[in-house]
Structure 1
Amino acid sequence: MSTPTQELPPAQDPPVNGGTQHFDGTAHSALPTPAAHGTDYSWQSWQSPLSGRYASKEMSAIFSNATRFKTWRLLWLNLAIAEKELGLNIPNEAIVQMKANLDLDDAQMKAAAVEEKATRHDVMAHVHVFGAQCPAAQAIIHWGATSCYVTDNADLIFLKMAFDVAIPKLALVIERLKVFAQEHRALPTLGFTHMQSAQMTTVGKRATLWIQELLWDLRNMQRARNDLGFRGVKGTTGTQASFLQLFEGDHDKVKALDKRVTQLCGFDYAYPVTGQTYSRKIDVDVLNSLASFAASATKMATDIRLLCSLKEIEEPFEESQIGSSAMAYKRNPMRSERICSLARWLGNIANNARETAGNQWMERTLDDSANRRMSLPEAFLTTDVILSTLQNVTEGLVVYPAIIARRIAAELPFMGTEPIIMAMVTAGGDRQICHDHIRLHSQDAARVVKVEGGDNDLIDRIRATEYFEPVHGQLDELLQPDGFIGRAPEQVDEFIRDWVEPALAPYQDYLKRAARVDLAV
């Protein structure tokens, strides 16, 4: 049997630039029309959502080129100051001109880009451009130093600056959660183990579990920040040979130079030994503290997402906010979902630092450079976004006691069986016989709930059973939710008094000034 032939459409040239081919055969590019020369259409090129969409201006500024290259110039200035103080022939005018030209303008940034394209060396490009601005200092800029004098020392400065932004923000999140825990310290709610209903706790007590992990993160970040040292002036392979030559073999002056530059740059100490770079183990230590925080953020945000699905708690939801483009009734926990998404990214950046540290050869290799240009800024920018989002969530958490009470009422009869058994034994009953009655009634009540879809009628069954008549008058009292929360309210009070408030004491000025956060998106 023959098959009919089908005439094929005429061949068309493939679309270009990732475009699509329309039904009329014309190709349209997916790329925007190039901007006119000199027009800044930044929206026409990819930007990191961390800086372009989420992160705060203060954290983004730390890792900007403006801050980076100004810091390089400040490091060259401090080196020149210390060298001059220790006797090297550096004119006063050189110091004056360097101090007056720490900030770069657009013309200098463009000139540095041209130099770097020609030399393939970013540090030397900026040495040349800085020298052009400071002719009296041109001959002594970078004297005795290697590139890592500015790149590594600048990174250590940025890490400290970034911690100084992140740590108070973490303290603020803890403060907001503290208020939430206090407000709901005695509100009974079902506990969950294996995500199955378990013994009751309180809404406030559950919040203290989140706070405790964040307190550990606060401790870890404080320690990582305070442990940061300075690379200092160590030379090309860490031996300080170039500086020993500058000071004509005077070891004391070389040590004094290292100490003085360290002080001028705001550090308490310099690492006693380095290769060309500071050990990348420092980056591991720093990013591990952030990755640990990511785990805490994930845990808290996941709990909130689960509680949102139970309708017991809701994260902030603005009047004009849209939960779904299709399902208009939805109130998705998008903030908590964002936290989980970004925290997953942050946790994996720490693995990157570990791999980089382990793969440094001898005194150094350059395979860390391009990697760290991304990993260090992105780790802190991500941390900043998570902190801002956590603050927004904790400032607007809504609790629905009626929903919580309804869920408790559905489960409380089963939880109340042990107090009923104990009351029966106190009234003279046999524990084993009582246990058997409770077991059979519980199975029947569970069948009503699971098979018939009815309400839990266990207590009605007990009221209708003559055997339990000695405790019929006590049942309402035995089944009060407040009787099932143990020391939860007292634990909240003691935890906040003994642990939270002392940890937050150093940040009181910041906490008093802090305003509510307004997320951009």
Structure 2
Amino acid sequence: MPETVAAAVTRTPSGRLALAASPEPIALGPLDGRYQSAVAPLVDYLSEAALNRDRVAVEVEWLIHLTNNNVLPGAGPLAPEQQEKLRGIVTDFDAASVTELAEIEAVTVHDVKAVEYYIGRRLPAIGIENLTAMVHFGCTSEDINNLSYALGVKGAVEDVWLPAASALVKQIEAMAEENRAVPMLSRTHGQPATPTTLGKELAVVAHRLNRQLDRVSKTQYLGKINGATGTYAAHVASVPGADWQAVAQSFVEGLGLTWNPLTTQIESHDWQAELYADVARFNRILHNVCTDIWSYISIGYFRQIPVAGATGSSTMPHKVNPIRFENAEANLEISNGLLDTLGATLVTSRWQRDLTDSSSQRNIGVAFGHSLLAISNVAKGLKALDVAEEVLAADLDTNWEVLGEAIQMVMRAEAIAGVEGMENPYERLKDLTRGQRVDAARMQEFVSGLGLSPEAEARLLALTPGRYTGIANQLVDHLK
């Protein structure tokens, strides 16, 4: 019988089987592994494959733009079917395209040059092989890259991140409306303070988050296509009669971007830093929401709805842990670490060009991925909450001392109106309440002995911690 040759087995230095040698790729990072389904929509915009597809798109549109506008003598408008086939290179970009590009880049050792050759291979089939020299005409790699990144980030923000973030804020707004009149003890500095309503507190964070979403939605995505050092030198040398600034502006704006007229070799990336600062600020506010909700869960203001079959602790079967909010906290922190680094790195370039931005920008998808994952977790966590109104009410009823503020302010108003015996209202309430628990009977006895006008006394005697919420209920209307 023929001798069987065993397949070579790769092992780590410790003798374990090497997972890296697995026939199926194993993800190194959690976004491409454990959490891949939550961030999958970003792959179409911020992955390396998406970047290459956008590079192909920019190169194709630049070729069509030059020919449609008769910029180069002898290269007039393409026939509609030729333009359609050119754009088909983009719409038909698939896994095989990714592989082919990688093979070309292995030879060129240059990613944008690989894109140029990839397109050039397809021109003969369209019948325009004579225009091969027009692919990447007048361009430096950064002309293509800056536009491709701008398109990818714009798509990721507008089509994925903003809809997810906006849906979460709408969810918080709905909770604010539903609980607008539910009284709740405030805790300034962690201590019992003037009551509010749960709905008003949720409205505060929704309002804060909405302001950041508004800023993000107004982002200007800048782009340029002006050559090796931003001077149009090659453009003017080759076709001196063209209005290259007008050509560049109309092209960039035709892509749905904002034209940047003054750059070095690179587009300066200031818009990216501005956007990432706004997204990071949204993340930080959302992080604050997570820590507050976590704390409210810990004191019983919210009950967590158990998931059938889920385990809270491997040893304590009673536990339902607020893992969604804890997971979100961690991912928001990771996202902000990357966003802050991107914002700091991208606005700086040595003289007319260095490559720090090239490596940095490849992490844009990771930064947005962790934010998107956090948003998903918070949304799921909020859906699994039930407001424990009886706990909120009991907490209020054991903290009558919070009415001290109301009483001393009424005494001040009475003193101004000329009522006798209203001296030192703050000090008198401080002596009664500071560091002490005061029940309903003691508080009402105190009020009755102050000598207030009948109307003021009746108003205070009718007041309870649960009714001392001012116009918190009405303030929720500012979300509309």
**TM-score per shorter chain, which class?**
0.7 to 0.9
Aligned to 1:192: 187
Aligned to 2:342: 353
Question: Deviations 1:155-211 (Å, cap 9, x if unpaired)?
Answer: 011121122132233322222222211111111110011111111111011111111
| TM-score under structure 2 length normalisation | 0.82
* Separation in 1, partners of 2:151, 2:385: 36
Per the alignment, do residues 327 and 240 of structure 1 end up closer, same or farther by CA in structure 2, a change over 3 Å counting?
same
| Residue 34 in structure 1 maps to residue 21 in structure 2 | yes
Aligned to 2:333: 344
Aligned-pair distance for 1:459? 4.0
| Residue 320 in structure 1 maps to residue 313 in structure 2 | no
| Residue 334 in structure 1 maps to residue 334 in structure 2 | no
1:50 touches 1:385 (CA, 8 Å); kept in 2? no
Question: Deviations 1:359-403 (Å, cap 9, x if unpaired)?
Answer: 4111111122112111x2122222322332333334443210011
Q: 5+ residue gaps in structure 1?
A: 1-14, 20-27, 447-455, 502-521
User: What secondary structure sits across from 1:56 in the alignment?
Assistant: helix
Aligned-pair distance for 1:117? 2.3
* Separation in 1, partners of 2:106, 2:465: 72
User: What secondary structure sits across from 1:190 in the alignment?
Assistant: strand
2:276 touches 2:343 (CA, 8 Å); kept in 1? no
**What amino acid is the match of 1:72?**
R
Per the alignment, do residues 434 and 331 of structure 1 end up closer, same or farther by CA in structure 2, a change over 3 Å counting?
same
Aligned-pair distance for 1:429? 9.4
Moved more, 104-113 or 208-217: 104-113
* Separation in 2, partners of 1:392, 1:129: 43
Aligned to 1:160: 154
User: What secondary structure sits across from 1:113 in the alignment?
Assistant: helix
* Separation in 2, partners of 1:469, 1:73: 81
| Residue 81 in structure 1 maps to residue 71 in structure 2 | no
Aligned to 1:415: 402
* Separation in 1, partners of 2:467, 2:62: 69
**What amino acid is the match of 1:157?**
L
**What amino acid is the match of 1:49?**
L
Question: Deviations 1:385-438 (Å, cap 9, x if unpaired)?
Answer: 2332333334443210011111112112x2245667869x99x99557999997
Per the alignment, do residues 69 and 434 of structure 1 end up closer, same or farther by CA in structure 2, a change over 3 Å counting?
closer
Aligned to 1:235: 227
- Aligned-residue sequence identity (percent) comes to 20
* Separation in 1, partners of 2:438, 2:276: 54
1:462 touches 1:468 (CA, 8 Å); kept in 2? no
* Separation in 2, partners of 1:328, 1:476: 47
Per the alignment, do residues 96 and 481 of structure 1 end up closer, same or farther by CA in structure 2, a change over 3 Å counting?
closer
Matches within 5 A, 1:352-501: 352-374=341-363, 376-412=364-400, 414-417=401-404, 446=436, 458-460=439-441, 477-493=461-477, 495-496=478-479, 501=480
Per the alignment, do residues 122 and 435 of structure 1 end up closer, same or farther by CA in structure 2, a change over 3 Å counting?
closer
Per the alignment, do residues 332 and 79 of structure 1 end up closer, same or farther by CA in structure 2, a change over 3 Å counting?
same
Aligned-pair distance for 1:469? 11
Matches within 5 A, 1:112-191: 112-135=101-124, 136=129, 137-165=131-159, 166-191=161-186
* Separation in 2, partners of 1:329, 1:461: 40
**What amino acid is the match of 1:99?**
R
2:184 touches 2:466 (CA, 8 Å); kept in 1? no
Q: Please report the RMSD computed on the Cα atoms of aligned residues, expressed in angstroms.
A: 3.4
1:190 touches 1:199 (CA, 8 Å); kept in 2? yes
2:199 touches 2:476 (CA, 8 Å); kept in 1? yes
Aligned to 2:270: 281
* Separation in 2, partners of 1:275, 1:84: 26
Question: Deviations 1:54-107 (Å, cap 9, x if unpaired)?
Answer: 533322321134432222222111111121123333484764542332233444
* Separation in 2, partners of 1:468, 1:338: 53
**What amino acid is the match of 1:250?**
G
Moved more, 361-370 or 51-60: 51-60
Aligned to 1:111: 100
Per the alignment, do residues 440 and 264 of structure 1 end up closer, same or farther by CA in structure 2, a change over 3 Å counting?
closer
Per the alignment, do residues 468 and 145 of structure 1 end up closer, same or farther by CA in structure 2, a change over 3 Å counting?
same
Equivalent pairs, count = 448
Per the alignment, do residues 197 and 316 of structure 1 end up closer, same or farther by CA in structure 2, a change over 3 Å counting?
same
* Separation in 2, partners of 1:150, 1:435: 68
| TM-score under structure 1 length normalisation | 0.76
* Separation in 1, partners of 2:142, 2:270: 16
Aligned to 1:201: 196
Aligned-pair distance for 1:475? 11
1:60 touches 1:381 (CA, 8 Å); kept in 2? no
Per the alignment, do residues 61 and 390 of structure 1 end up closer, same or farther by CA in structure 2, a change over 3 Å counting?
same
Per the alignment, do residues 189 and 441 of structure 1 end up closer, same or farther by CA in structure 2, a change over 3 Å counting?
same
Aligned-pair distance for 1:490? 1.6
1:18 touches 1:31 (CA, 8 Å); kept in 2? no
User: What secondary structure sits across from 1:239 in the alignment?
Assistant: coil
| Residue 261 in structure 1 maps to residue 254 in structure 2 | no
**What amino acid is the match of 1:158?**
G
Aligned to 2:7: none
**What amino acid is the match of 1:230?**
G
* Separation in 1, partners of 2:47, 2:178: 41
Equivalent of 2:40, from 22, 37, 57?
57
**What amino acid is the match of 1:323?**
G
User: What secondary structure sits across from 1:101 in the alignment?
Assistant: helix
**What amino acid is the match of 1:303?**
D
Per the alignment, do residues 288 and 462 of structure 1 end up closer, same or farther by CA in structure 2, a change over 3 Å counting?
closer
Aligned-pair distance for 1:48? 4.0
* Separation in 2, partners of 1:486, 1:377: 45
**What amino acid is the match of 1:151?**
N
User: What secondary structure sits across from 1:138 in the alignment?
Assistant: helix
Aligned to 1:303: 292
User: What secondary structure sits across from 1:199 in the alignment?
Assistant: strand
**What amino acid is the match of 1:382?**
H
**What amino acid is the match of 1:393?**
G
* Separation in 2, partners of 1:463, 1:220: 49
Aligned-pair distance for 1:123? 1.1
Q: 5+ residue gaps in structure 2?
A: 1-9
| Residue 244 in structure 1 maps to residue 236 in structure 2 | yes
